[in-house]
Chains A and B, each alone.
Chain A
């Protein structure tokens, strides 16, 4: 389907490299290399060009990002082994040696950066956890990822469903009770912080005031998924509802809608064919970063509901100066952001015909 071009070949190779680094931890060196070759071929052959370009961009981006993050971490005061009861200087130094953390200076940062990259690419390892010793970063982040993704998907579904429904409904009848009630919902959704929403949900639906339908905290069953997903979804639903409403109002005022109505399309068809399309462009643009945020977890929701997800590591890593964890989360976060933004960019022209004329 495609002509061979340098972008395709190099992009395919780069995708292969990314696949190798990602997969070798799971499949071993040989398996990882094999799988990576397959991915590279598939990528060069079938992937959309935009995706390949994105992969090409992201490689130097990752290198730079890790470098900047390391230097940032090393400039910020604090020590992963410091505590209120300070140990001897010699002991602290020895601990830093044990875990390969050089002195905090620019040169030390460069040294750490080099060692980290080597570890990442050559060994496929992301270093040890300093605050939960005995584990590697990979071992703590890998089990947390599916947890956050499941929770995030549920929340995203609720947020999109609820948000689009309320937003479009309000947009179709601006300045009516429907509109105001959706606006009221949105205002409550964003002006109550998520820990308050979460605590309220627990109080009402778990602690038996008046319902005791769900467990108060924990992970590992469908019933434990409900309250945190709702709490996580509400603020996002509020944003989506407002964005969708304004998009709908705009579209409904446009000529082609009038034309469609004049053509005798039913109201349902008008809404589904045209109103939604207008509503969805800003929502989808918002969804890229928002979904990345949802899927990488939320510290507040996770600690409140006792969920072993990713969000905790973002905050704990930084709070504890757990350098390897921080870098692990940086890589994951930016990988997911890049992926979701790519998906959005691929989806936009598909959704909005006006974008297809591009390049």
Chain B
């Protein structure tokens, strides 16, 4: 299913010859119809094309961004939790410190160091999102690891002389895979939506689901151009749903506890 979403975003616009930039102000704000399956936006652009093309950037940012934040957060949290004591204290204080930094200034600074040409490259967006997103992940993993590090199998491995890194990656982390996967999958949606906040600061992508959702100011008592909100949200939901199944599969594959 995830593959379906990814493929349709990547290929459908090409196959159907959709152009997300072609404007036709006469045909603006049309509800879904035969020529525009998803309707049109305020400039008369085909909304289907925009949702699909926006999906490319959003999926990239959501998946890669989450992956990066999961990797950093997991390793950081696992190391802190495994060693505990002073190491844990010091590492967690760094996390506390990073929580306190005024995020918007950091983002604006990133925006300025990456020049205008790079605006559409998602690197800046990754950087801006990754900065805070891994912190909570690190805290969750650390909490798990703290509770696991005195389990018998960890002690056993230690007695057998395994190196710390090996213990962390072979024995401790697989046992935390549940929360990691759960948090990670939900994080994809959070990252995709957070990206629209970045574009409020002038850093976000030009066209993405987060953008489309943020611009679709349709939940009000006066009118409802529902398609502007419904389609990007539906795509986001579908992505998330498929990620959840994928996540469950991942956990079944890695988690020794659910391996029967």
Contacts and interface: CB of A to CB of B under 8 A. Distances in A.
Direct contact of A and B (CB under 8 A): yes
Contact of B214 (A72, A193, A200, A338): A193
B21 interface: no
A243 B179 contact: yes
A333 B100 contact: yes
A192 B31 CA distance: 21
A76 B244 CA distance: 39
A57 interface: yes
A337 B94 CA distance: 12
B190 interface: yes
B251 to A, nearest CB: 7
A190 B258 contact: no
A319 B99 contact: no
A354 interface: yes
Given A238-B186, A289-B99, A282 B233 contact: no
Contacts, number: 170
A294 to B, nearest CB: 13
A285 B108 contact: no
Given A61-B96, A319-B104, A354 B251 contact: no
Interface residues of A, number: 69
B206 to A, nearest CB: 19
Contacts of B244: 183, 187
A58 B97 CA distance: 9
Interface in B171-218: 178-179, 181-183, 185-186, 189-190, 193, 196, 213-214
B84 A254 contact: no
B108 to A, nearest CB: 5
A334 B100 contact: yes
A281 B147 contact: yes
A250 B174 CA distance: 12
Contact of A330 (B85, B101, B109, B236): B101
Interface string A62-82: 001100110011011100000
B179 A196 contact: no
B69 to A, nearest CB: 13
B131 interface: no
Nearest to A60: B93
Given A191-B233, A281-B143, A348-B146, A53 B106 contact: no
A246 B244 CA distance: 11
Interface string B94-117: 001101111011101100100000
A288 interface: yes
Contacts of B102: 69, 72-73, 314, 317-318, 326, 329-330
Contacts of B193: 191, 193
A130 interface: no
7 closest Cβ pairs, A-B complex: A334-B100, A285-B143, A199-B219, A318-B104, A282-B179, A246-B178, A191-B236
